[in-house]
Amino acid sequence: MAKGSLSEREKIDTSVEKKLTALFELQVIDSQIDKIRTVRGELPLEIKELEDSVDELATRLEKLNEDYRASELIISEKKNLMKDAEAMIKKYKSQQNKVRNNREYESLTKEIEYQTLEIQLAERKIKDFKASLTTKKEQVEQLEEELKERKNRLKEKQGELDEIIAETEKEETALLKRSKSAEGLIEERLLSSYKRIRSNTRNGLAVVPVERDACGGCFSKIPPQRQLDIKTHKKLLVCEHCGRVLVAPDIAEKMKEKV
């Protein structure tokens, strides 16, 4: 073997170390992004819920206003019907003065009675719809007040979020760019595993260092022989308890210096 050349074992170890270093670097970057987004807290979710609430209230208010306008239209129609009926009654009474026999007189009397009944029914309907309008008006006013309050809260929360985003946007954009770049150095299969583990952990940690002879994620103790395998970078190893990828302390230290 030529002087200075790497053995096959050394090449494999170097390859594994590079993969672990790349994975841990990606984890460090993504954790910084997570930290920035944690600052936003529940604001995005609160804003989404408020937006949905505002849309729902606006829809209910529009429907109520439509019902209100429909009731007003019916009242107007009933008033017109009453005017027509009153005109017909006046006409029939005038005709009664000119009839020549009882049959014509009784026929006109029935028409007058019918038109009188129409007026009474219309008056009853108008009374009912006016009562309904009073209730609807109160509901409209209540919904308008509630909608105004929700819109103000939405504006306030959106302002808080915009302020936080403005403060962290530059840093987050830079980190997202670094994250994308770091992903490009990791093979697809390994990257998919990393993302899967991240999505299944509460704190988003998929790659953790060995700390005090334990997993840096779940803090379970790691057997001495397994620790030795991790330190020598012979292969990719995961915690037997939580499934996170484990890296040696020296890789974590190098990354701290780099970051």
Sign (positive/negative) of CA torsion 18, 19, 22, 24? negative
Residue 238, pLDDT score = 93
Q: Pick the last residue of a domain from 164, 180, 196.
A: 180
Lowest mean pLDDT among 6-10, 34-38, 44-48, 70-74: 6-10
34 and 48 part of one domain: no
* pLDDT at residue 14 greater than cutoff 70: no
pLDDT band at 40 (very low <50, low <70, confident <90, very high): confident
The verdict on residue 2 lying in a domain is no
**In Å, what is the CA distance from 60 to each residue of 29, 139, 147, 214?**
46, 10, 10, 57
* pLDDT at residue 257 greater than cutoff 90: no
Q: 54 is in which domain, residue-wise?
A: 43-180
227 and 196 part of one domain: yes
The verdict on residue 233 lying in a domain is yes
34 and 56 part of one domain: no
What is the value of pTM for the model shown? 0.55
The verdict on residue 242 lying in a domain is yes
- Name the residue among 218, 215, 221, 203 with its Cα closest to residue 248: 215
> For the chain, what is the domain count?
2
